């Protein structure tokens, strides 16, 4: 069953490249002056293991398992995923400029699959964002960070200062919406990664110490 799910997932990815995405515009927010030069996503900055239940939905295909993210040094993380039955699916090391594939299940060893995972986790694990402009609305302080044809909108909750959303755009097209739920700056209790141009959704849910034992 797991093999059939993975094969179906790969076939679905092949057809996704024909779908277009919409332009992104920031609404209900005003431009403000800010002294912030750089903002950070600190959710994966600790040296401790980040262990999550993972659910991936790609069109009508569903794959679930356990995902572990570990910070190896200041620039590199290791990401490993196993199936619900404990079989290793993929294991790689990633930084902003490098990618090393340690293992991939043969059913997943397709260029399009590897590229999706590489690009998604590279954006998720990006830590520092130089601030180009600052905005705010009733609930959030919003920072725009531009890099070449890419732009990131980072939404920080005004009450607790926690990062709630990152909107990643390219060529002014909305690509990925990262939504976080957290109680502290260095650990996201849950994450929802939603592609806007493809029907791809990745959800991560914290595994508590009780669940791990």
For residue range 183-208, what is the model confidence (pLDDT) as tens digits? Answer: 999 999 999 999 988 788 999 999 96
Average pLDDT over residues 78-106: 94
Q: Pick from 42, 46, 85, 50: which is nearest to 67 by CA?
A: 50
Are the C-beta atoms of residues 176 and 120 closer than 8 Å to each other?
yes
**pTM, 2 dp:** 0.85
- Kindly indicate the confidence band of residue 138, based on its pLDDT and cuts at 50, 70 and 90: very high
Query: Does residue 6 register a pLDDT over 90?
Result: no
Backbone angles phi, psi at 108, to 5 degrees: -100, 0
Comparison of pLDDT for 94 and 22, the residue scoring more: 94
H-helix segments, 85-156? 111-124
Residue 14, pLDDT score? 47
What does each C-alpha distance from 92 to 33, 60, 173, 195 come to in angstroms? 40, 26, 28, 21
Enclosing H/E stretch for 11: helix 2-14
Read off the pLDDT band of 21 (50, 70, 90). Answer: low
Q: What is the largest CA-CA distance in the chain?
A: 55
DSSP string, 67-97: EEEEE-SSS-EEEEEEETTS-EEEEEEE-SS
| 178: β partners | 166, 193
**Is 204 in contact with 67 (CB distance < 8 Å)?**
yes
Handedness of CA 15, 106, 114, 53 (dihedral sign): positive
| Whether the predicted pLDDT of 16 surpasses 80 | no
What is the model's pLDDT at position 120?
93
Confidence of residue 57 (pLDDT cuts 50, 70, 90): confident
Q: Residue 10 has what pLDDT? A: 52
What does the alpha-carbon distance between residue 43 and residue 26 come to, in Å, rounded to a whole number? 24
The answer, yes or no, to whether residue 18 has pLDDT greater than 50, is no
Q: Is the pLDDT of residue 63 over 50?
A: yes
| 102/70 Cα distance (integer angstroms) | 14
Q: Take residue 41 and report the two structure tokens written for it.
A: 């996503």
- At 96-132, the pLDDT tens digits run 999 999 999 988 888 888 888 899 999 999 999 999 9
- Please name each of the domains of the chain with its CATH number: 2-212 (2.50.20)
* pLDDT at residue 169 greater than cutoff 60: yes
Quick one: average pLDDT of 151-161? Answer: 96
Give the mean model confidence (pLDDT) for residues 66-71.
96
Structure confidence at residue 8 as a pLDDT band (50, 70, 90):
low
Instruction: Residue 39: count other Cβ atoms within 10 Å of its Cβ.
Output: 20
The residue among 37 and 28 whose pLDDT is bigger is 37
């Amino acid at each position: 069953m797991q093999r059939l799910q993975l094969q179906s997932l790969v076939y679905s990815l092949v057809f996704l490249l024909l779908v277009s995405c919409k332009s992104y515009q920031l609404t209900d927010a005003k431009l403000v002056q800010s002294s912030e030069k750089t903002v950070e996503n600190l959710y994966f900055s600790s040296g401790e293991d980040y262990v999550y239940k993972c659910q991936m939905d790609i069109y009508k295909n569903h794959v679930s398992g356990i995902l572990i993210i570990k910070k190896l040094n200041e620039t590199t993380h290791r990401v490993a995923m196993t199936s619900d039955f404990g079989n290793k699916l993929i294991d790689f090391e990633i930084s902003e400029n490098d990618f090393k594939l340690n293992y991939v299940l043969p059913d997943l060893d397709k260029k399009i699959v590897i590229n999706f995972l590489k690009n998604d986790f590279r954006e998720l694990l990006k830590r520092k964002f130089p601030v180009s402009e600052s905005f705010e609305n009733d609930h959030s302080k919003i920072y725009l960070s531009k890099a070449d044809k890419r732009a990131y909108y980072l939404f920080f909750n005004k009450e607790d200062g926690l990062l709630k959303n990152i909107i990643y755009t390219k060529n002014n097209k909305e690509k990925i919406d990262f939504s976080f739920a957290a109680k502290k700056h260095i650990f996201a209790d849950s994450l929802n990664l939603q592609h806007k141009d493809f029907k791809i959704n990745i959800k991560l849910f914290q595994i508590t110490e009780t669940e791990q034992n």
